[in-house]
Amino acid sequence: MVAIPFEVSRSAGPGQKPRFDKFTVNVSEETPILTALLQIRSELDPSLGLRYSCRQAICGSCAMRVNGKSRLVCSTPVGPEFRAHGKVVIEPMANQPVVKDLITDMTPFWDRYRRVHPHLILDPAHPLPKDKESSMTPEQFDQFKETPRCIACGACYSACPALGSDDEFLGPMALAKMYRFVVDPRDSAYRQRLATIQNQSLWLCLRCNMCVEACPKDVRPAERIVDLKRLAIQELGAPEQGSRHAEKFMTNIEDGGVLNEMKLARETLGIFGTLKQIPKGIQMMRHGRSLKKHPPIQGVQEVKVIYSELNKPEDLMHRPRPAGKGVKGGGQ
Amino acid sequence: MSYSHDVLVVGAGLAGQRAALEAFRAGANVGVISKLHPLRSHSVAAQGGINAALGPGDSPEGHIYDTVKGSDYLADQDAAKILCTEAGPCVIEMEHFGTIFNRAPDGSLDRRAFGGASKSRTIYSADRTGLALLQALYEELGRERAITVYEEWDALELVMKDGRVHGLVGLHRKTSKIEGFSAKAVVIATGPAGRIYGKTTNSHSSTGDGNAIAYRAGAYLKDMEFVQFHPTALPHTSILITEGARGEGGMLKNSKGERFMERYAPNFKDLASRDVVSRAIVTEVREGRGFPDGTVHLELMHLGREKIESKLQEIVEITRKFIGIDPVTQGIPVFPAQHYMMGGVHTDPKGATNLPGLYAAGEAACVSVHGANRLGANSLLDTLVFGKISGAEAAAWAKKTSSATVTQGEVDAVTTRIHTMWERKEGETVVKLRNEMQNAMDEKVGVYRRPDELLAALAKISELKDRYRNVYVSDKSTTFNLNLIEAIELGNMLDQAEVLVAGAVARTESRGAHVRMDFPNRDDAQWLKHTMALPSKEGPVLTYLPVTITDYQPKARSY
Amino acid sequence: MKVAYYPGCVAQESGKELDIATRAVAKILGIELVDFPNFSCCGSGFIDEANQTLNVALNGRNLAIAEKASMDVVMTVCSTCQGMLAHAKHTLAKDPVVRKRSDETLTKIGYRYQGTATPKHLMQIIVENLGGAEKLRPYVKRPLTGVKVAAFYGCHILRPHDIMEFDDPEDPHYFEDIIRVIGAEPVYYRGRVMCCGFPIQFVKPATAERIAGKQIQEAKRHGADTMATPCPLCHISLDNYQKEAGRAVGEELDMPVLHFPQLLGLAFGLDPKDLGLPRHLADTTGLVEKLSRVAVPA
């Protein structure tokens, strides 16, 4: 048993400024933080507000911030946090309004989830087999067998820095959910689904991988978002800034093996975008930051061989385009 | 403010959502009230799978027989027939809703072996089948925009008038406001009251509120003494380790390294029905063949890393995260814990209770398809099959019923009762009373039951019910007042615990999960009947209902 | 020790001061840098979005170049380069399909990827190869006494942890350990592990700048005299775009942002000019002024 100091954010209701209440809890180091919080509730302060239910990391109720990190507290032990920080600071999830203490209003999270049309969209012309399961190859199943692991706890949503800075962004959970439907062989809205995110949300992911670390179920949302980006480029080309930047970056390196920053700016931003960058360029030059073209690397021919060899559809992503979908037909 | 629907479903797990979907399809104006967000419901915790006789050489008849045998012949065979014949269509429908089930190499639904089943007929999604099903159903329900879901509302009391249901009174957690919900039909789908035990695999929210309000309104609680103890739960936390682990080939070993189930169930071994395996584990430990921490070990090592990590992913995560044990290289310490309530609100095979307009489905209900012992992977099936039926029936009832009203006076009466408790200035804490209840149930109403202990438990529950009248809610705030909600839940649990223990005291035989040390045998002459409880001032009044037997006459049960 | 030096694109062009500072600091630390003029760009995460296998093979080639010269360590000075090279190494080890395609291609151009070379950021080399932050102490000639330094790690050196295997991915400490050893005071703020906004600078500059602005703002609130980063892309966001970042968050920002090797170089007594500080857009004269009050022992 160790005496663990807790500092718990308390807030009486929406819009109230939180304060931190201090509690000391005697527990063993392996004790889940949820258990310690429930001990606070039963022994020290029954008014502490938090959501919890299953206590085994499957219902998704108890996501909150632990020493700043978004965590499901039922599966996070006290010990490592105490050892690293000398205390355990508990706050409600970020990026959502607080209802009381550690309880947030998850409406923004669920709204984004609904925006990806989280249900099967079937093609009336190709109904599922009657009185029989739809057939699915093990390969098709493999592509999304991990996706039901998401328990919609919101830890990724709380951890995401893009969400805190841009309301347009759908966030890790909703996009990972989108991936689940995009690769589902039963779903017919493959192209439409990709099209709805191509322009608004997909390219706002920062690839910072905060969601990968926060996710208690190893859903790895950031990686599924990269998969969606690859599928979107394959299916819809590069019609806007984000995909264009990825494409132009790729061709840029083919030229000289090393980045030509000026050329990239010109190609991604277009003429107007580049003109807007002129003052920045002047400012940079004043500080001796040149943007002159780097000479090609030695062995640039080798790079060109790599480019010419590895441009088959199956190279673009290892989780390939879902069978029977996409440009080769079907899946509309 | 008050709310009005044709059909109001209480609880948003698999049974509740399925009922709501079906009632909506039948043209009813449907509302769902749940104390949790639907995706947080306890259905999410079901791991192993869902039974359906879809495999080659299998048949609904085989499934019915296994279910009836598993029930120790207490299941109503007409209901079991519905369960098993609807199983195939039910699973196919869930697949069409988008459930991500594991696949066999030929692309069809994969199946795994499960306890008490003569064939491999458990369809599954790794070891998170409940989660996969709940997601798919919630997503399907999400299309039906006209269904109103009242999230984080507690149902407090049913409103009954002219001998039928008129709705209920609920409390909104966010504001603590108490409001009326009028409904021509109400479907109770609030799951079990596993939390009357301390050692339970159930969620903290599993307090069986719907059962309690139905019972207080005059609905029968049936067969409540039949409590399933899952053989394999982790010590201390009682977190569930799925039967699917044994379905995939896991074996139970005692401290001598013996595969002891060979002695208790020579044919089915580790996959005998749950009551049999739980008793075997308790016996091994009592007779000194357990490990020092009072457990036996569930060994998976021989299955190999790849199979363990792909098909039992959640188990791997649970054991690594919660007890620091890697099942790829170590045995998992396990001991039985309360897991499932075979009993519940009495319904007929159409989900109707004895109260006109009141329906029930899922673990809250007792149709009965599980009798004295439920087979693994039959509970998910039960929620969906009878959820659907009760939803349709509730909608049909609503169609032929003129109107339903909940008056302000009726709301005020409930409000007064709650506020009297809430405004009390001193008394005993919820935690204290709840701990005493859970300890009594854990110690005295377990796998093996002694008459003196049962009587002591009954006296304890009755004492706690008295003391509950003086329960103290120290938190006076109106936003998410969990202290108040826990007090309400405790009252609900005490009502159910009392019925459970009374039924166990009365039933002087051993059948399925109910094992009396003083009456070690099944007694079909006296006890092939359901326990039916109604409330009275003096406590539960017990009567009995015959079991429906169609094709399978009771016979000795061996695995 | 001897390492294959992978400077990355930015250090070779617009962020040349990073290369200059790295060479100076490596010399002091006794790290012999071997240049490979045939290293290509790491893809910066963007090529990975367009063509996964190509991206892996490109970095497989980079690693194979070092292997061909019997070098075990490829030293990076950019969190993103580090991330991409480590990602490629991980994929080549775990994904047989990509590995096969990459091997076939590299064979055609005369390389054989074996997996013997490991990419390591300079910070990682200090921690893992030189023996930890403490080992820097003898080189500290001008302790940065009284200077509050806000570490800004850059995502890809830390995450995902199962691939990067360096420090705690959300609660790291190595950078702060180093800051303490060189006599400065670390500033703890949440932004230190956050994104700088760079990956979407070309997609939605306003958002990228708001993100950068928040991090600088938070460092400032915590009393930082300067920020420091092991990633030149973060440096672009925090330094080059600081004015825009300030505008995005509605606050005039004036925060020096040092490259990690520059920070070391200052503590090692090197001249700020020789470390390329005047090349920064955010003014560093205040910081240099503060440092000049700390005497450098002869």
Cα separation, B411 vs B155, in Å, equals 12
- Structure confidence at residue C293 (pLDDT): 80
d(CA A310, CA A300): 16
Can you tell me the ipTM of this complex?
A: 0.96
| Bridge partner residues of C118 (DSSP) | C73
Q: Per-residue pLDDT for B321 more than 50?
A: yes
The pLDDT of residue B162 is 94
Contact check, Cβ <8 Å, A259/C168: no
Backbone dihedral angles phi then psi of residue B241, each to the nearest 5 degrees: -115, 115
Which range is least confidently modeled, A126-135, C99-108, C169-178? A126-135
- H-helix or E-strand containing C208? helix C205-221
Chain centroid offset of residue B4 CA = 28
**Which of the listed CATH numbers 3.40.47.10, 3.30.413.10, 3.40.50.11810, 3.40.50.300 matches domain C133-292?**
3.40.50.11810
> Are the C-beta atoms of C246 and C213 separated by less than 8 Å?
yes
Residue in A46, A53, A58 nearest the CB of B36: A53
What is the pairing mode between strands A88-91 and A2-10?
parallel
Q: Is A155 helix (H, G, I), strand (E, B) or coil?
A: helix
Neighbours of B14 (CB within 10 A): 33
Annotated catalytic residues of B are: 274
Chains B and A touch (3+ CB pairs under 8 A): yes
Cα-flanking dihedrals φ and ψ of residue B209, to 5°? -60, -40
- The DSSP secondary-structure symbol of B547 reads P
Q: Count CB atoms within 10 A of the CB of residue A40.
A: 20
Q: Which residues contact A124 (CB under 8 A, 6 or more apart)?
A: none
Strands B30-34 and B148-151: what pairing? parallel
Domain assignments of chain C as residue spans, ordered by start: 2-122, 133-292
Q: What are phi and psi for residue B164, nearest 5 degrees?
A: -145, 170
Structure tokens at C248: 């995005």
Taking the CA of residue A42 and the nearest CA in chain C, the distance in Å comes to: 31
Using an 8 Å CB-CB cutoff, list chain A residues near B36: 53, 59, 61
How many Cβ atoms are within 10 Å of A87's Cβ, its own excluded? 15
Cα separation, C48 vs B374, whole angstroms: 51
- Three-class SS state of B179: strand
* Cα maximum dimension of chain A: 73
Angle formed at CA B257 by CA B261 and CA B373, multiple of 5 degrees = 25
Average pLDDT, chain B: 97
Map tokens 């093979």 to a residue. C57
* Chain A: residue whose CA lies nearest to C197: A206
Task: Quick: pLDDT tens for B183-208.
Answer: 999 999 999 999 999 999 999 999 99
Start-to-end C-alpha separation, chain B: 57
CA nearest B316 in A: which residue? A217
pLDDT at A261: 86
- Each residue of B73-82: b (16+ CB within 10 Å) or e? bbbbbebbbb
Which domains, from first to last, does chain B contain?
2-47+128-227+340-406 (3.50.50.60), 229-336 (3.90.700.10), 409-524 (1.20.58.100)
- Cα C115 from Cα A13, distance rounded (Å): 55
Closest CA to B93 of B45, B12, B28, B22: B22
Which is more confident, A240 or A103?
Answer: A103
Select from A47, A59, A101, A180 the residue whose CB has the most chain B CBs within 10 Å, as the one to mutate to test that interface: A59
Could you tell me the maximum CA-CA distance found in chain C, to the nearest angstrom?
A: 59
Q: Residue A319: its pLDDT value, please?
A: 62
pLDDT at A209: 97
Q: CB distance C159–A288 less than 8 Å?
A: no
C-alpha B557: how far from its chain's center?
24
Q: Give the distance from CA B211 to its chain's centroid.
A: 11
CATH architecture entry for C2-122: Up-down Bundle (1.20)
CA distance C258 to C266: 10
Nearest to C280 among A212, A230, A287 (CB): A287
Point out the least confidently predicted range of A259-263, A327-331, B303-307, B455-459: A327-331
Helices (H), B248-366: 261-264, 274-286, 305-311, 313-318
Q: Residue A115 — pLDDT band, cuts 50, 70, 90?
A: very high
| CA angle (B347, B193, B437) in 5-degree steps | 135
CB-closest option in C47, C170, C195 to A69: C170
pLDDT tens by residue, B350-396: 999 999 999 999 999 999 999 999 999 999 999 999 999 999 999 99
pLDDT of residue A269: 84
In sequence order, what are the residues at sequence separation of 6 or more whose Cβ sits closer than 8 angstroms to the Cβ of residue B286?
none
